[in-house]
Chains A and B, each alone.
Chain A
Amino acid sequence: MDLQNQQRVKDVVEKYGVENVIVILGSSDPEGAEIYAETVTNGDPTYAGPLAGVPLGLAVYHIFEPEIREEIDPAVWEEQMEMMEMVLDPEALSQAVAKMREQYSKYTLE
């Protein structure tokens, strides 16, 4: 993840509290999604950015995951997301993020 964006994530968490923040990813490939999810839960795996060694434990989801999708108006989903849902692999993306969340997140959407 971009180093500046890592800092922004850190700032948002400091401002609002880790338990109040949800990260939602729009990654196109499972490997990338996994790295993003790891970065906001267990810390930057590349040890390059402000989140290196900072295990925030944030609740993180891919937008394709049911927990997020069911919060979105179906008409809006159809208009905004349907095309990308056909092009990308929602199942693999969801699994990649869920795996990291189950391993490292201290919070989830309940």
Chain B
Amino acid sequence: MVKGKLAGKKLILLGERDGIPGPVMEACLKDSGAEIVFSVTECFV
């Protein structure tokens, strides 16, 4: 499913353990037409 605005873009996903983790954002955006070039999950302890 390629819809538009993100098509062809490079995505940096800065996830958070207590919010939306990187892999969840990856699952959401993998069909956006954009390439995920960096995805990470930070945590604050």
Residues of A that sit less than 8 Å from B by CB: 1-2, 5, 8-9, 12, 15-16, 20-29, 32, 36, 40, 58, 63, 67-68, 70-73, 76-77, 80-81, 84, 88, 109-110
Closest to A23 in B: B12
Kindly count the residue-residue contacts between A and B in the assembled complex, taking CB atoms under 8 Å apart. Answer: 105
C-alpha spacing A40/B14, complex, angstroms: 11
Query: Contacts A9-B38, A109-B6: A71 and B14 contacting too (C-beta < 8 A)?
Result: no
C-alpha spacing A88/B19, complex, angstroms: 8
C-alpha spacing A22/B25, complex, angstroms: 13
C-alpha spacing A21/B9, complex, angstroms: 6
Query: Interface extent on B, as a size class?
Result: 20 to 34
Residues of B within 8 A of A1 (CB): 14, 42
Asked if A24 contacts B11 (CB within 8 A), the reply is: yes
C-alpha spacing A80/B41, complex, angstroms: 16
**Smallest Cβ distance from A105 to chain B, in angstroms?**
14
* Option from B3, B24, B38, B44 in Cβ contact (under 8 Å) with A26: B24
Query: Contacts A76-B27, A84-B20: A26 and B14 contacting too (C-beta < 8 A)?
Result: yes
Residues of B within 8 A of A24 (CB): 11-14, 25, 29
Residues of B within 8 A of A73 (CB): 1, 31
**Smallest Cβ distance from B37 to chain A, in angstroms?**
5
